[in-house]
Every structure is written in C-alpha cells, then in structure tokens.
Amino acid sequence: MATTVEKIMHAPTLLKKEASVCRAAEVMAEKNIGSILINVGEGYMILTERDILTKVVAQNKKPWGIKVSEIAADPVYMVYNTATIESAADTFEKHHIRRLPVVEKGKKGNIIVGIITTRDVAEAPFNYFHKSKIGGVRDVKVEKIMREITIVESGATILDAAKIMAEKDIGSVLSKKDGFHGILTERDIVRMVAKNTSPEKSVGDVMSELTHTVSFGKTIKDAIEIFEKFHIRRLPVMKDEKVVGIITTRDVANAISAVTKGEYFKGMSDYTGGSGWW
C-alpha cells in the first residue's frame, strides 16, 4: 500500500506579512529550515531561501528594509495530504521545485496542514522503498544522477557567489583556499543575512568545510543514509580523491519520479571521466 505525504510532512512555520526579510532569515537560521509560510489574511504566500538569495542578496539589497510580502510568492503548486510520495516526487521533478505545501480539503476550501520537501522524499522510511515498486532506485549509482559542480575563487565575494547561484539556478558553489576545500550554500547565505554579514566578505572566509562526501560508485541508498544522518541536502561526489560532481536531495526525488514513470533519469548520462576538481 502506497504511503501518503502526510506520513512524512512536517509542520509549516508561519510569519506575518509585515516581518522583514532579515527577521525571516533569523527564523530560518534558528529552525534550520528553508521556507516559511507568510500569512496574508485570506491565504498564504511562501518565502524560500532561494527568494532571499535571488531577490535580495544577489541584487545587493538591504534585507532589513524589505518586507517578506514583497518577495514571497503564491504557492503555485500544492499537494493533497492523501497524495502518494511518488506523486509528490513527480511534482518536484516536473516543476523543478523543492518544497510543496500540503493541503487538506475543508468545508470552506483547502487548508494548509503541512509542508513536504525533496529531503523528506529522499529520507522516506527505508522499509517503504524496499516494499514499493521504486525500491530499485536505491541501487542506482550516484554518478547516474550527479550534476556538474560550480567553482568560484576564494577571493570572490558573497555577492559574487550569490549572483552566480542566481544566474545558474543552483544552490551551492565550491571553493578552496590554502588547501582548505569548502562549500557555500544558499542556506549559508541566509544565515549570513540573519547575522547581518557584509555581502562584500570573501567566500574563502565564510565557506564551510567539505566534511561530508559520497564516493563515486556508491549507490543512492548510500547517499540517502548520509543525507539522513547529517540532515544535509547536498553531497559532493569523490573519485580518486577529486570532486567530480554533486548530488542533491532533489536529484534523488527526480530519480524516484523517473523510476515511477518507467523512464531513464532525464538530463543524466554516464560519467566519462575528466580531471575532476583537485
């Protein structure tokens, strides 16, 4: 029997429309979450890390002077609480999104009862996947779903990195400085907004160390175990001590969607070699 999204959804975090983007960033950082629902009276809007990155930081705007209602968006796509995990994965893949408000039918219309993310799908209970028709996705090698990495100079500013991430529609960049190899994610940038960190600081000074990676040849199941254990969304893929790609929880959700529909992983191809990163 298929598992529904209400089994893996989590409670949404709400914020008033008058709150500043800076306050939203503080709440996201405190709760380690990537989105907030904005109460606008008759309904809700959704504010994500990507909104803060692309509409504020990448445009070098002051977050304390902008209301969340100015950059939040209407949740165009939602999913009913009775929908299956497979159907949610399909929605993620089809519309290139990472979060879905979960709604329940009420007497006066749909009521938002939760939110589900690609990480929730990727970390769905192992037993469910083993018993379901999509269990085979966990035996797929990570190189089948990995994507190219984006590297920036350690001397580049946070603003430079944010512009690159916004332009390429990616959630992280990699860099290295004095033998130290790190990653800068959109979540890191939101935390910097919460701390009022200057966007002119260099990436090399604020990036996080690459403490968690997955080896080339390992399976999606191996990657999921790392995602779940350390509560992260991205994993660089290592081959011969070099970074050759990166996978995210959205890549896993897309793979689940592809297997469910009997398709090959769209946009993916077999790794044919290359120099890697370092």
CATH code where residue 206 lies = 3.10.580.10
Task: Give helix then strand counts, H and E, for the chain.
Answer: 11, 12
Q: Are residues 158 and 249 in the same domain?
A: yes
- Do residues 75 and 136 share a domain? no
Per-residue model confidence (pLDDT) at position 277: 53
Looking at the structure, tell me whether residues 251 and 136 fall in a common domain: yes
If asked whether residues 179 and 215 sit together in one domain, one would say yes
> Which among 117, 143, 167 is the end of a domain?
117
One domain, residues 32 and 154: no
Nearest CA-CA partner of 79 in 162, 140, 7, 136? 7
- 101-139 burial: b if 16+ Cβ within 10 Å, else e: bbbeeeeeeeebbbbbbbbbbbbbeeebbeebebeebbe
Neighbours of 53 (CB within 10 A): 23
Contact present, 236 and 243 (Cβ < 8 Å) = yes
The tens digit of pLDDT for each residue in 8-47 reads 899 999 999 999 999 999 999 999 999 999 988 778 899 9
Pair 235, 170 in one domain: yes
Between the two ends of the chain, the Cα-to-Cα distance in Å is: 46
pLDDT at 85: 87
Please indicate, yes or no, if residue 223 is contained in any of the structural domains: yes
On whether both 135 and 214 belong to a single domain, the answer is yes
Has this prediction a pTM greater than 0.85? Answer: no
| 18, 39 Cβ separation under 8 angstroms | no
Domain termination residue (choose one: 71, 89, 117): 117
Sheet with 208-209, side-by-side order of all strands: 172-177, 180-185, 208-209
Which tens digit of pLDDT belongs to each residue from 238-265?
A: 999 899 999 998 888 888 777 666 655 4
Total domains in the fold of the chain: 2
**Does residue 122 lie in a domain region?**
no
Show the low-confidence residues of the chain (pLDDT under 70).
Answer: 1-2, 125-137, 259-278
Pairing type for strands 35-39 and 234-239 reads: unpaired
Specify if 227 maps to a domain: yes
Same domain, 131 and 255: yes
| 13 domain-assigned | yes
Residue 270 included in any domain: no
User: Has residue 273 been placed in a domain?
Assistant: no
Q: Kind and range of the H or E element at 93?
A: helix 85-95
In a domain, 168, yes or no: yes
Query: What pLDDT does residue 126 have?
Result: 47
Helix, coil or strand: residue 88: helix
Return the pLDDT at 266. Answer: 47
Question: Do 45 and 151 fall within a single domain?
Answer: no
* pLDDT for 276: 59
Residues 106 and 213 in one domain: no
Domain containing residue 98: 5-117
For 101, the token pair is: 């408000």
What CA–CA distances, in Å, run from 276 to 235, 240, 269?
A: 15, 9, 16
- Are 133 and 69 within one domain? no
Residue 272 lies in a domain: no
Q: Is the torsion defined by CA of 124, 129, 134, 140 positive or negative? A: positive
Is 277 buried (19+), middle (13-18) or exposed (0-12) by CB count in 10 A? middle
Whether 251 and 141 map to the same domain: the answer is yes
